[in-house]
Amino acid sequence: MPEGQPLSIPDDGLTTKQRRNRPLVMVHTGDGKGKSTAAFGLALRGWNQGWNIGVFQFVKSAKWKIGEESVFKRLDELHTETGEGGPVEWHKMGSGWSWSRKGGSEEDHAADAREGWLEIKRRINAEEHDLYLLDEFTYPINWGWIDIDDVVDTFANRPGQQHIIATGRRADPKLMEVADLVTEMAKIKHPMDAGQKGQRGIEW
């Protein structure tokens, strides 16, 4: 892809503009750091274009106040106040989707994840957002809480102009197959290897 040019032009009957503006499914996976960070950076670009952004976090405790959440909520307020950018909704399950899994059984967490997916599916079918950021989405799929075939069918047949980013380790091969863009973050080196825990401004 030299100088941002595609290596080949498909014979699909689309104009250059139509092909350029196709809605994308994007997957950020791998064991390295930066999957969610890159997704939130892309969401910032979308906000600047006036997109309606929906963020759905599957494996983050409701007690965690990450930096991106504070920023995007302020950007939503800015949009409401001035019309700049686009609206932002931020949803996280709380204890039901928490990594620590406190406050419920395995069955409770699985049911909560399925309920969250059904809400996202409803929104996709209703074309409620321009960009869906499904953070840590690979985990409930891998745990069998969300049906991968339902996800693939929903993504592949979504109406309108809706972009989707899904993040998380060990993305299901079917999820990567339906995606237009797959990036694998490979860990070469990490401060945790030297016993250093996560720190403010880097991890949250």
- Please indicate, yes or no, if residue 45 is contained in any of the structural domains: yes
- Please indicate, yes or no, if residue 173 is contained in any of the structural domains: no
41, 43, 48, 52: CA torsion to nearest 10: -170
- Please indicate, yes or no, if residue 70 is contained in any of the structural domains: yes
- Please indicate, yes or no, if residue 69 is contained in any of the structural domains: yes
- What's the predicted TM-score (pTM) here? 0.86
181, 134, 49, 77: CA torsion to nearest 10: -170
Q: Indicate the number of domains in the chain.
A: 1
What is the structure's pLDDT at 107? Answer: 77
Going from the first residue of the chain to its last (204 residues), give the mean pLDDT of each consecutive group of 10, the final group possibly shorter: 64 68 94 94 97 89 70 96 97 52 65 89 98 96 96 98 97 98 90 74 67
> Residue 86 belongs to what domain range?
22-168
- Please indicate, yes or no, if residue 1 is contained in any of the structural domains: no
- Please indicate, yes or no, if residue 180 is contained in any of the structural domains: no
What is the structure's pLDDT at 83? Answer: 97
Query: Exposed (0-12), middle (13-18) or buried (19+): which is 89, by Cβ within 10 Å?
Result: middle
What is the structure's pLDDT at 63? Answer: 53
Residue 47's CATH number: 3.40.50.300
- Please indicate, yes or no, if residue 108 is contained in any of the structural domains: yes
